[in-house]
């Protein structure tokens, strides 16, 4: 499999809070790779640094060390002009569908905006918007409506359509279903898998939920306090992990059986 994204020894340091506070390093030399058409799941608890990886790939957080390469090119410190060009190939779906869409714009305007910015003609943009709405399972008249007229799951479908608008090679999915109910989560995850099957897009999928990661990922990297502690095929990592931290994550996942839940809780306390 050809490597699309390669992150090598990535370090990110945030300035300390308060006078004379020491800087805080949140990533301690993280390395990972995403192949073409592949989903790499990055899983860890809150504060582990998983979102910082995604933000570094997107250029929203400046690394203090290491490199980020996309299609073999070093984009670690890419400038604004280069980032605008990269936006055609690297897109993002954020966590909250309620705040990630401009409430003053219609869905058609939201979806056509990145296309127009990249030089698409008005007619071409309209045709692409209709294609995108169909791709994510929304009616054609959705383009004339405002975000507030849609449910959370539908808004996240709009956010996915916006990310797909320029036909990217890679989409960074930062907790894209955590704000949704379980039924809607399953539908959105199935949608992402189906889109990948049809288009060949790759995902860097960030989540705290091993069940979600297992559903969409080919491989999984587990991050704990700024370090990757385990990487491997999704089936192995999410069912029989070797690292104690990943084992604790697995045991922390809720199950419907009360007896099994008690057994898991006891096993987790022993780790």
pLDDT digits (tens, 9 = 90+) for 222-231: 999 999 999 9
- 237 or 265, which is more confident: 237
Are 55 and 176 in the same domain? Answer: yes
Q: Is residue 241 part of a domain?
A: no
In DSSP terms, 33 is beta-bridged to 6
Confidence of residue 167 (pLDDT cuts 50, 70, 90): very high
Predicted model pTM: 0.90
pLDDT of residue 168: 95
Q: How many domains does the chain have?
A: 2
Phi, psi of 103 (to 5 degrees): -70, -15
Contact 153, 178 (CB under 8 A): no
Confidence of residue 106 (pLDDT cuts 50, 70, 90): very high
pLDDT of residue 224: 96
Which DSSP string do the residues of 219-232 spell out, in sequence order? EEEEEETTEEEEEE
Domain assignment of residue 157, given as a range = 100-165
Q: Choose one of 141, 165, 189: the last residue of a domain.
A: 165
Contact 101, 159 (CB under 8 A): yes
pLDDT winner (highest mean) among 72-81, 117-126, 249-258: 72-81
Q: Choose one of 111, 131, 165: the last residue of a domain.
A: 165
Instruction: State percent of the chain over pLDDT 70.
Output: 93
Are 85 and 172 in the same domain? Answer: yes
Give the count of beta carbons closer than 10 Å to the beta carbon of residue 39. 24
């Amino acid at each position: 499999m050809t490597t699309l994204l390669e992150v090598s020894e990535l370090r990110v340091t945030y300035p300390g809070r308060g006078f004379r506070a020491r800087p805080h390093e949140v990533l301690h030399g993280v390395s990972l790779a995403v192949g073409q058409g592949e989903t790499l799941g990055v899983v860890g608890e809150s504060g582990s640094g998983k979102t910082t990886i995604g933000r570094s790939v997107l250029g929203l957080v400046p690394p203090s060390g290491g490199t980020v390469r996309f299609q073999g090119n070093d984009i670690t410190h890419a400038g604004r002009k280069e980032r605008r060009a990269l936006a055609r190939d690297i897109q993002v779906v954020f966590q909250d569908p309620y705040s990630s869409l401009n409430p003053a714009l219609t869905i058609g305007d939201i979806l056509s905006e990145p296309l127009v910015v990249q030089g698409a003609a008005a007619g071409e943009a309209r045709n692409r918007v209709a294609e995108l709405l169909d791709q994510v399972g929304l009616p054609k008249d959705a383009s004339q409506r405002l975000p507030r007229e849609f449910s959370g799951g539908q808004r996240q479908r709009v956010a996915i359509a916006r990310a797909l608008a320029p036909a990217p090679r890679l989409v960074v999915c930062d907790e894209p279903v955590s704000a949704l109910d379980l039924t809607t989560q399953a539908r959105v995850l199935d949608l992402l898998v189906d889109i990948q099957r049809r288009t060949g897009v790759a995902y860097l999928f960030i989540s705290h939920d091993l069940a979600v990661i297992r559903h969409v990922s080919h491989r999984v990297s587990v991050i704990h306090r700024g370090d990757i502690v385990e990487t491997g095929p999704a089936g192995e990592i999410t069912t029989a992990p070797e690292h104690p931290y990943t084992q604790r994550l697995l045991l922390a996942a809720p199950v419907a059986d009360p007896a099994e839940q008690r057994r898991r809780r006891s096993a987790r306390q022993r780790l």
